[in-house]
Chain A
């Protein structure tokens, strides 16, 4: 059963991903800048850093949150077909 807290969490997780999407695309970096550090352009370092943050956040979401708290492990058994069609 999904609780209001679950729905709230889904929204703020979505909001953080939206912010990260804005950051990983380097639209804000000056065009024509070719400065680099150890060969990697500065804009590339910035966008890869944002991707790394996204990776860490994604791992946290997977490890820290469960959709319904259950773990359908080996004991999970097929239950047959759901009564859930719209008659097509």
Chain B
């Protein structure tokens, strides 16, 4: 490995110590468990205070996509990818529609998974099963993107040995992740998130400083781009791109707020005050993460040539390689930033892994396979599920090495997740919303989204229809069916008490 990446022994010692600390925290989380129950393993006894909650939300929300995907997209699109700042904030805005109320309900009804709310609200096994499948498929997509980014993080730094480094990265990092995740459950993952969130925040600030120190001010990078054939990437985005902006704000805002792992962190909050304060702080974090990732992409556009397609996601790694070769301080900061990138990847991937395992275990295995199974059995099945899932996705990530850009993977995930918006965001407020109508809307929305995304339609350009994500087209139909179906079938006598 030492010959693959241009890091010396001290750097590997630092990175190794960081990775070992994750395993140690997994062991501490294992020892700190209070009961062998799903609530303890997946929600840590609902005891997250403000500091843990804000850092775990931050580390979970800002992922490999936030670092490599956004920098790569800014390399391709220029300043037009400032939309990433907008859509990361939109997630926090959309939380306001349902998170505070969902938190109260989760306390009353002891929810563990997002589907627990749907079961309580609508009482429809079919709706719950379909919602579970939608969330598990979407999260698998997300987890796959994280694993691929782990590989890309090493690939970009390794230069001519990139392919081998990619494979080592995927296998090694996922192994560590699954060990500490299954040892300590959400408690270990939240504790590691505290470290990872702090390193991530520090790493982003260090990244901005080092880019300016190494390549000069942003104004110089912008002038370089203006003098190149890419000059249009400095100007305001075209009308078509602005339609995509609107689409991204809506689909990522709603879809991101419906991340199952984030919903479970809402459940795990110690109090509503802790939740509200955490989300208030999260409203400012796009400026110290997404914005800096865009600026990194702009520096790459100015000073790194020749990246195309999925390879553009390596732009940040290329920049880091240049920086570390030029000074000792740069070298040290690159090691810190590299650790921050690993933190972003692993904190998001471990949360997705645990969330998938909780939904599979509680909402599918515990309902449709072994109804009435003991909590200890369900917890054991959840851990086994995590190992199998991660092994399968790691193999897939290696097979799909050069296949897709991270942003493409991200788009498909949101196309699916956003179909759950009526069930959660509308259903939590409107007593008259009916389960049958929500189920029909969800089925139609998913069918439309997937057909448009993967079908051979000439009017679908770059995965979008006139700049609009297929998921939003599906959501329009989904929402209409849910509302009209509920109005038509409206009957008195049913009272959901939020």
Binding site for B on A (CB under 8 A): 17, 21, 24-27, 29-34, 36, 38-41, 43-44, 47-48, 51-52, 54-56, 58-59, 61-63, 66-68, 70-74, 76-88
Contacts and interface: CB of A to CB of B under 8 A. Distances in A.
A87 to B, nearest CB: 7
B283 A84 contact: no
Given A33-B235, A39-B218, A39-B222, 4 more contacts: A38-B217, A59-B281, A78-B109, A81-B109
A27 B239 contact: yes
B464 interface: no
Contacts of A51: 85-86, 89, 286
A73 B217 CA distance: 48
B107 A80 contact: no
A86 B276 contact: no
B160 interface: no
Contact of B276 (A27, A63, A68, A82): A63
Contact of A86 (B103, B104, B281, B434): B434
B279 A62 contact: yes
Contact of B120 (A17, A39, A54, A81): A81
Nearest to A77: B107
Interface string B400-436: 0000000000000000000000000000000000111
A67 B276 CA distance: 11
Contacts of B123: 84-88
Interface residues of B, number: 67
19 contacts: A17-B93, A25-B249, A31-B238, A31-B239, A39-B219, A40-B218, A43-B236, A51-B286, A58-B92, A58-B280, A62-B283, A74-B270, A78-B108, A82-B109, A83-B495, A84-B120, A85-B494, A86-B436, A87-B123
Contacts of A80: 109
B235 A34 contact: yes
Determine chain A's interface SS by DSSP, over half rule: loop
B272 A48 contact: no
A84 B119 CA distance: 10
Given A32-B235, A51-B89, A84-B494, A41 B222 contact: yes
Interface of B: 46-47, 79, 82, 85-86, 89, 92-93, 96, 100-101, 103-104, 107-110, 120-127, 217-222, 226, 231, 234-239, 242, 245-246, 249, 270-273, 276-277, 279-281, 283-284, 286-287, 291, 298, 434-436, 439, 494-497
Contacts of B439: 88
Contacts of B82: 44, 47-48
B242 A59 contact: no
Instruction: Identify the 3 closest CB pairs spanning chains A and B, nearest first.
Output: A85-B123, A39-B218, A88-B124
Contacts of A27: 239, 242
A48 B85 contact: yes
B334 to A, nearest CB: 22
Given A61-B96, A84-B121, A36 B234 contact: yes
Given A76-B108, A84-B494, A24 B280 contact: no
A79 B234 contact: no
B107 A59 contact: no
Nearest to A28: B236
Contact of A25 (B220, B235, B242): B242
Contacts of B238: 31
B435 A25 contact: no
A25 B83 CA distance: 9
Contacts of B125: 88
Contact of A62 (B96, B103, B217, B494): B96
A86 to B, nearest CB: 5
A52 B280 CA distance: 13
Nearest to B217: A39
Nearest to A67: B100
Contacts of A70: 104, 272
B85 A67 contact: no
Nearest to B249: A21
Contacts of A61: 96
* B47, B283, B284, B496 interface centre (most CB from chain A within 10 Å): B283
Given A39-B218, A76-B108, A62 B280 contact: yes
A52 B286 CA distance: 10
Contact of A26 (B121, B242, B272): B242
A47 B89 CA distance: 13
Contact of B89 (A41, A55, A76, A79): A55
Nearest to B125: A88
Given A84-B496, A88-B125, A59 B284 contact: yes
A27 B96 CA distance: 26
Nearest to B223: A39
A74 B271 contact: yes
Nearest to B111: A78
